[in-house]
Amino acid sequence: MSNPFLAILRQHTKGPDFRPATKSELARELGIASDDRAEFRRALRTLEASGELVCGKRSRYAPPSQSSGGAQKITGTIFFPANEKRRHGFFRPDPELKSLPALKAVTGDIFVPARFSATAMHGDRVAVKLTKREAPRWHRHVKSRRDRSGQDENTMEAGVVEILSRGQTRVVGTFRQHGRYAHLLPDHPSLPASFNLEGSLLGARNGDKVVGELLAWDSPNVPPQAQLIEVLGRPDAPGVDVLTVIHRYGLPLKFPDVVLAEADTLPDAVDDETELARREDWRDREVFTIDPEDARDFDDAIFVHAFHPDEGGGWELAVHIADVSHYVRSGSAIDREAKKRGNSVYLADRVLPMLPEKLSNGLCSLKPGVDRLTHAVIMRFDRKGQQTSVRYASAVIRSRRRYTYEEAFVRLNLSNGEIDHFDPEEASLGHHLKRAWDLGKLLRENRYRAGALDLDFPEVRAVLDDQGRAIDVKRSDYDESHQLIEEFMLAANEAVAREAKNAQAPSLYRIHEDPDPDQLFEFAFQVGGYGYQAGDVTIRAELQKVLRAIRGKPEEHALKIALLKSLKRAAYSAEPMGHYGLAKVNYTHFTSPIRRYADLVIHRVLRRLVASRSDGATRTDVDTTPGQGQLAEIAKHISETERVAADAEQETRRMKLIEYLVRVSGEENGRAFDGIVYDVRPIGAFIELTDLLIKGLIRKDDLPAGYYRFDAARNRIMDPGGKFQLAVGHRVKVRVARIDHSRGFIDFALVQE
C-alpha cells in the first residue's frame, strides 16, 4: 500500500511559503498524530532517498533547490559498475565544471555510496552534493583496481540530491512471471536487478526478450516500475539477439514517413543537364573506389596522376566525395533526421543508415558505370610527398571500377609484367592503383615521421548465414589497400580543416586531446608485464618505439586496446584543438557524408567558403551553415551518437563471435584455443584468444586443485611454491567453460599440456 504521507509532503514542501524544517517541525506543521509518526518518518526517508528532499544543515528538510546543506550542488552523470548489487556508484561531473574550486583536486570519477545513490540509474543526469569523507573499504579496493598511478582520489564522496533526467527510459531484458506478478530482468548489468511490470503483458511468455518503458521509481527500497511496450520474441529466434541491442541503445529501426516521402521526391538518376554543365567533368578519367566486400554505400573515389620528371615529378591526387549536400538541404526532413541519428550504425547483421536507402545506396553511392555528383579535393604533392597546392571543385564522375580491399591488395602485390597480362582497361587501372600506392606509402611514412601513432590492428568478424547465425569468421588485416585509402582520406580531411581554420569560418573539427600522463604510465606498466622495455611514453617517439616493438606479436591487439583505453576518446568540436593520435594540428571529417552528419555539415561549410571567394555566395546551390553556437551543440550531440553507435556495433560483433565460439566448441568436443594473458586480478586471469580476439576470464576457482594467491606487485596468480603461475604475457591453451549470453561474459578453463 502506498504511504499516504508521500503526497502530503510533496505538496507541502513545494508550496511557495515553505521554509526548510526539521522532522518535528514538519510533523507539527502538518498536524501529524502521534500514532502516524512512524509512517510519516518512513515517507520522509523515501523522499530523501529519491532525492526529492534533502536533509541539510541542522537536520532541516527541503527540496534540493532550497537546501542549504553547506556543500555545492554539482551536475553530471552517474554510473554503476556491472553487477554491483549494493548500488555503489561513481559520479562524473560535467566537463565545464572542472574549474570549480570543489573539483580542482578531483581528477577521476567520484564515489557515490549506496545509501546516497537514491533512485538514480546508470547513465542518469543528476545533481549531487560533495562531501569530504573517508571512503569505505569497498571503495578503496575498487580504486586500487581502477588507478595504479598512486594518486589518492578518494577524499570526496557524492550524494544524489536530484535526478535531472534519465539516461534511459527504455529497458530491454527477459520476461518473468510468477503467479500474478510479472517482472522484467534487464540485460544491462548496471541497471537494477528487476523491474516490476504493470499494465498489459502483451502476451509475453516466460523467457521472452521484451522492451519496457520506465514508469516510476519512488524508493530505492522497492524495484522500479515499468510497462511492456514490445515483445521481441524468444531469445534464440533469428535476429532477436541483435534487436535487443538495437532497443537497448535506442537506435532507430525505421525512417519517419515524412522523411521517406521527401526522399521519394528526389530524382532516380543524375540527369540534370544544367547541373552537370556547371560542374567539372571527370567522367573520362580513371576514377575508382576501394571498399569492403559487403559495402553498399560508396562515399569516396580516387584519381592519381604521376607527373613525369620533366614536369617536376610528384603527383596529383583527386579525392571525390559523394555530394550529399546537393540533395539534402539544411533544415529539410531528411537533414533533421540525419542530424538526430548522427551517423550510420553498422551492426553484425544489418546497417541502420543515417540517410534513406534511396540516397545511401542509390543516388549518392559512387557505383561504377553511372554518373554521380561529387565534391572534390584536388591536391598536388611534390616528390617528397609534401602538399604544394589544393583546390576544391563540384564535379561529376563515372567510376571505372569498384575494387574490394582484397582485390586491391592482390593488384598491389603483382608485378607490372603480371598486370600487363590483364585486358587493356583492367591493366591500366592496375598500374594506376600501383601509382596511387607510391604516393600513399610516402604520405604514410611522412605521417609517422611527424609523430602519428600506429593504432591500427586486424579485425575479426563473424560470417552469418541468411538466418543471422554465425557460421564462420573472417579476419581483416590492415594491409596496403586499407592504408592507401586511409592516407588519401586523411590528406583530404586535413586540407579541408586547414581551409576552414585559415578562413576563420565557423566549422566542425575532429579532435583528439592530449592524454593524461598518468594513464600513459599505466599503459607502460602493462607493457612491462609482457617483457617490453617502455621509456617515457609521454614522449611520442618512445610511444612509437613500443608500438613498433609489438607489431605482429600475439599481444599486439591486447596492448593496442590497452593503449586506446589510456588515450582520450576522439570527438567533435567547434574549436580546432588538434588530433593527438594522428599528430595533426587541424583535422576534420569530410570524406563520409553518407554515413556521418559531421561530414555533411563540413560540405556545406566548404561550399559556402569557396563560393564566397568567387562572388557566388548567393547561388542557390550554396546552403545555409550553422553558427558557432549551433556547431558546438551539433558537435556534442554527434559525439554522443558516435559513442552509442560504436558501443552497439562492438556488442553485436562480440555477440556473434561468442555464438561462433559456442558452435565450434560444441562441434569439436571442447576444442582448445590459443590465448594470451592480458591482465590479472584477484578473481583470476583475463585471456584474449589470439585467433578470434575474444576476451574472457580464467577464474582462480577454476584452476587445478590447490591454493593460489594473487601477487599484485608482479601481476600474477601463483601457487605458494611458485611452480605454477599465470602472469601477463603468458601464452595459454583454453577451452570454453561457461558463457553468460545475456551479459556477454565468457569463462575459460585452462588446458594443461
Residue 250 pLDDT > 50, yes or no?
yes
pLDDT for the residue 334:
99
Q: 370 and 502: one domain?
A: yes
Look-up of cell digits 617490453: 532
Confidence of residue 65 (pLDDT cuts 50, 70, 90): low
**Dihedral sign for Cα atoms in the order 641, 647, 649, 651:** negative
Q: Give tens-digit pLDDT for 222-233.
A: 999 999 999 999
Whichever domain contains 718, its CATH number is 2.40.50.140
Q: Give tens-digit pLDDT for 421-449.
A: 999 999 999 999 999 999 999 999 999 99
Choice among 91-105, 266-280, 620-634 with the minimum mean pLDDT:
91-105
**Dihedral sign for Cα atoms in the order 688, 694, 695, 699:** negative
Last residue of a domain, one of 620, 651, 682: 651
Side-chain half-sphere of 270: how many Cα atoms within 13 Å? 27
Residue 633 pLDDT > 50, yes or no?
yes
pLDDT for the residue 94:
87
Confidence of residue 103 (pLDDT cuts 50, 70, 90): confident
Confidence of residue 71 (pLDDT cuts 50, 70, 90): low
Asked if residue 46 lies in contact with residue 6, where contact means CB atoms within 8 angstroms, the answer is: yes
Q: What is the DSSP letter of 406?
A: H
* CA distance to 353, 381, 637, per residue, from 643 (Å): 16, 35, 10
Q: Give tens-digit pLDDT for 187-236.
A: 988 999 999 999 999 999 999 999 999 999 989 989 999 999 999 999 99
Q: 267 and 384: one domain?
A: yes
Asked if residue 122 lies in contact with residue 92, where contact means CB atoms within 8 angstroms, the answer is: no
With 0-12 / 13-18 / 19 or more C-beta atoms within 10 angstroms meaning exposed / middle / buried, residue 252 is middle
Q: What is the DSSP letter of 513?
A: P
Q: 115 and 224: one domain?
A: no
Residue 134 pLDDT > 80, yes or no?
no
Q: 552 and 534: one domain?
A: yes
* More confidently predicted of 724 and 743: 724
- Copy the grid coordinates of residue 551: 607489431
- 730 phi and psi angles, rounded to 5 deg: -70, 135
Q: What is the DSSP letter of 516?
A: P
Q: 505 and 520: one domain?
A: no
Task: Give the mean model confidence (pLDDT) for residues 68-96.
Answer: 81
Q: For 214-224, b where at least 16 C-beta lie within 10 A, e where not — what string?
A: beebbbbeebb
- 382 phi and psi angles, rounded to 5 deg: -85, -175
Last residue of a domain, one of 62, 95, 111: 62
**Dihedral sign for Cα atoms in the order 47, 51, 53, 58:** positive
Residue 608 pLDDT > 50, yes or no?
yes
- 729 phi and psi angles, rounded to 5 deg: 95, -15
The residue among 597, 625, 622, 626 whose CA lies nearest residue 394 is: 622
| Range from 24-38, 472-486, 732-746 that averages highest in pLDDT | 472-486
Q: Is residue 247 part of a domain?
A: no
Q: Give tens-digit pLDDT for 326-354.
A: 999 999 999 999 999 999 999 999 999 99
Domain that residue 217 falls in = 170-235
Asked if residue 488 lies in contact with residue 440, where contact means CB atoms within 8 angstroms, the answer is: yes
Residue 19 pLDDT > 50, yes or no?
yes
Q: Give tens-digit pLDDT for 256-265.
A: 999 999 999 9
Confidence of residue 545 (pLDDT cuts 50, 70, 90): very high
Q: 634 and 734: one domain?
A: no
Q: Is residue 578 part of a domain?
A: no
Kind and range of the H or E element at 686?
strand 684-689
The residue among 280, 339, 408, 368 whose CA lies nearest residue 604 is: 339
If DSSP codes are grouped into helix, strand and coil, which group holds residue 652?
helix
Residue 12 pLDDT > 90, yes or no?
no
d(CA 295, CA 20): 62
Q: What is the dihedral of CA 516, 521, 522, 523, to 10 degrees?
A: 100
With 0-12 / 13-18 / 19 or more C-beta atoms within 10 angstroms meaning exposed / middle / buried, residue 502 is exposed
With 0-12 / 13-18 / 19 or more C-beta atoms within 10 angstroms meaning exposed / middle / buried, residue 554 is middle
- Copy the grid coordinates of residue 433: 592503383
Q: 504 and 628: one domain?
A: yes
Confidence of residue 379 (pLDDT cuts 50, 70, 90): very high
Q: How many CB atoms lie within 10 A of CB 693?
A: 20
Q: 432 and 310: one domain?
A: yes
d(CA 409, CA 468): 29
Share of the chain above pLDDT 90, in %: 69
pLDDT for the residue 747:
95
Q: Is residue 126 part of a domain?
A: yes
Task: Give the mean model confidence (pLDDT) for residues 71-85.
Answer: 82
Q: 549 and 617: one domain?
A: no
**Dihedral sign for Cα atoms in the order 303, 304, 307, 312:** positive
d(CA 393, CA 374): 8
With 0-12 / 13-18 / 19 or more C-beta atoms within 10 angstroms meaning exposed / middle / buried, residue 385 is buried
For residue 225, give every residue at least 6 positions away whose Cβ sits within 8 Å of its Cβ, in sequence order, or none.
195, 196, 197, 198, 214, 215, 216, 217
* CA distance to 518, 559, 671, 734, 738, per residue, from 692 (Å): 31, 16, 13, 13, 17
Look-up of cell digits 500500500: 1
* More confidently predicted of 702 and 600: 600
Q: 45 and 180: one domain?
A: no
Residue 67 pLDDT > 70, yes or no?
no
Confidence of residue 617 (pLDDT cuts 50, 70, 90): very low
Task: Give the mean model confidence (pLDDT) for residues 107-130.
Answer: 91
pLDDT for the residue 147:
44
Kind and range of the H or E element at 391?
strand 387-398
Strand partners of residue 81: none
Whichever domain contains 197, its CATH number is 2.40.50.640
pLDDT for the residue 694:
93
Share of the chain above pLDDT 70, in %: 94
| Range from 46-50, 162-166, 295-299, 602-606 that averages highest in pLDDT | 602-606
Report strand pairing: 315-322 vs 73-79.
unpaired
Confidence of residue 142 (pLDDT cuts 50, 70, 90): very low
Whichever domain contains 42, its CATH number is 1.10.10
Cα 26 versus chain centre, distance: 48
Q: Is residue 384 part of a domain?
A: yes
Q: Is residue 664 part of a domain?
A: no
**Dihedral sign for Cα atoms in the order 574, 577, 578, 579:** negative
Q: Is residue 244 part of a domain?
A: no
Residue 1 pLDDT > 60, yes or no?
no
Q: 87 and 131: one domain?
A: yes
Q: Which amino acid is at 279?
A: R
pLDDT for the residue 151:
38
Q: How many CB atoms lie within 10 A of CB 97?
A: 13
DSSP per-residue codes, 67-136: ---SS-EEEEEEE--TT-TT--EEEEE-GGGTTSGGGTT--S-EEE-GGG-TT--TT-EEEEEEEE-PPP
Q: How long, in residues, is the chain? A: 753
Asked if residue 78 lies in contact with residue 165, where contact means CB atoms within 8 angstroms, the answer is: no
Look-up of cell digits 503467479: 179
The residue among 290, 405, 346, 364 whose CA lies nearest residue 599 is: 364
Asked if residue 117 lies in contact with residue 86, where contact means CB atoms within 8 angstroms, the answer is: no
d(CA 323, CA 590): 11
Q: Is residue 744 part of a domain?
A: yes
* More confidently predicted of 370 and 71: 370
pLDDT for the residue 446:
97
Kind and range of the H or E element at 609?
helix 597-613
Last residue of a domain, one of 165, 192, 207: 165
Residue 150 pLDDT > 60, yes or no?
no
Q: 310 and 263: one domain?
A: yes
Q: Is residue 393 part of a domain?
A: yes
Domain count of the chain?
Answer: 6
Confidence of residue 139 (pLDDT cuts 50, 70, 90): very low
State the maximum Cα–Cα separation within the chain, in Å, rounded to a whole number.
103
Residue 70 pLDDT > 60, yes or no?
no
Task: Give the mean model confidence (pLDDT) for residues 492-506.
Answer: 97
Cα 269 versus chain centre, distance: 35
* More confidently predicted of 146 and 611: 611
